[in-house]
Structure 1
């Protein structure tokens, strides 16, 4: 029998699809290319998800918690891909989002420290808000790095490549 943490990803997918109903199960099964019964076996932790199924799942269930699951305990953070044609307004929009998320996290920290103790619930909420701020800042950076040309990168010398 696999270790209990072997199925953490399946628990998260179950949470998103069954508990929160983010996407209908039959839609997900069709998009992944499997029968409903096969998806049910994955969700109920009888069988592991395969890498190709996970990739297809990420395409249909676009929830940052799925990506964050794989980035836990790494030095990487999640960032939303910039729009196909990022305009200066998008960078401004992302900068406002980043600032809003950072202020939210700071307000939560200030509130939590009023009694000089951060309890377990406050810690989880604070970490969630910090993660949202990180995503917003990383997405702003990706939008600025894109420089209005989707699929291109700019090196340190300012030269753009496709």
Structure 2
């Protein structure tokens, strides 16, 4: 019985992400990118078989949705942050990082406001607020990494 349940939660999670109407992914294209048949992808999405580690990595490459990678860090002391593009200057990376923090913080405030419209925070509100808070933490960690990372040959005045 345990073998049948192995990977089922992740399969349901991936199915939600792949099927969500706002971010719908072509299953045919996803199967091609993963190097598997469409029927095999369907089997994975309904939980009849498990995704391999290589398939998960390729899926994140194909559909860079942080929720996919974040799934594996749930209930740990770790969270993801974006890598700064190596081709961009330090100043531009810091500027875009600060803008991302601002955007994510605004989305967090919007969720808090929505949650408090009825003067109480329900389970669903907590879920959405926690998700936005994780995005803010991720953006802050990315900005901090950009500030701390020496980038040889780029903007030496910012590295002093």
| TM-score (structure 1 length as normaliser) | 0.79
| TM-aligned CA distance change 1:19 to 1:100, over 3 Å | closer
Structure 1 residues 119, 18: CA separation in 2 closer, same or farther (over 3 Å shift)? closer
Paired residues, number: 151
Query: Displacement, 1:74?
Result: 0.8
- Partner Cα distance (1:86, 1:143) in 2: 11
Residue segments in structure 2 that go unaligned for 5+ positions in a row? 154-158
| Residue aligning to 1:76 | 78
1:45 aligns with 2:47: yes
Which residue of structure 2 aligns with residue 154 of structure 1?
A: none
Q: How does 1:1-162 map to 2 (within 5 A)?
A: 1-2=1-2, 4=5, 6-20=7-21, 22-87=24-89, 88-106=91-109, 108-109=111-112, 112=115, 117-149=120-152
Kindly state the Cα deviation for residue 36 of structure 1 after the two structures are TM-superposed.
Answer: 1.0
Check 1:149–1:47 CA distance in 2 against 1; reply closer, same or farther (3 A cut).
Answer: farther
Cα distance in 2 between the residues matched to 1:17 and 1:147: 37
CA 1:117 to 1:35, structure 2 compared with 1: closer, same or farther past 3 Å? Answer: same
Q: What RMSD, in angstroms, separates the aligned Cα atoms of the two structures?
A: 2.6
**Which range moved further: 34-43 or 135-144?**
135-144
Q: CA deviation at 1:136?
A: 0.8
Deviations along 1:45-73, one digit per CA (max 9) or x if unpaired, are: 10011111111111111101101101101
The 8 Å contact of residues 79 and 135 in structure 1, kept in 2 or not, is answered as: yes
Q: What is the DSSP-based 3-state SS (H/G/I as helix, E as strand, rest coil) of the residue aligned with 1:118? A: coil
More off after superposition, 124-133 vs 17-26:
17-26
Q: Distance in 2 between matches of 1:127 and 1:5?
A: 26
Alpha-carbon distance between aligned partners in 1 of 2:143 and 2:48, rounded to the nearest angstrom: 40
Once residues 110 and 25 of structure 1 are traced to their aligned partners in structure 2, the CA distance between those partners, rounded to angstroms, is 36
Residues 149, 41 of structure 1: alpha-carbon distance in 2 compared, 3 angstrom cutoff:
farther
Q: Distance in 1 between matches of 2:20 and 2:107?
A: 27
Worse-superposed segment, 107-116 or 131-140: 107-116
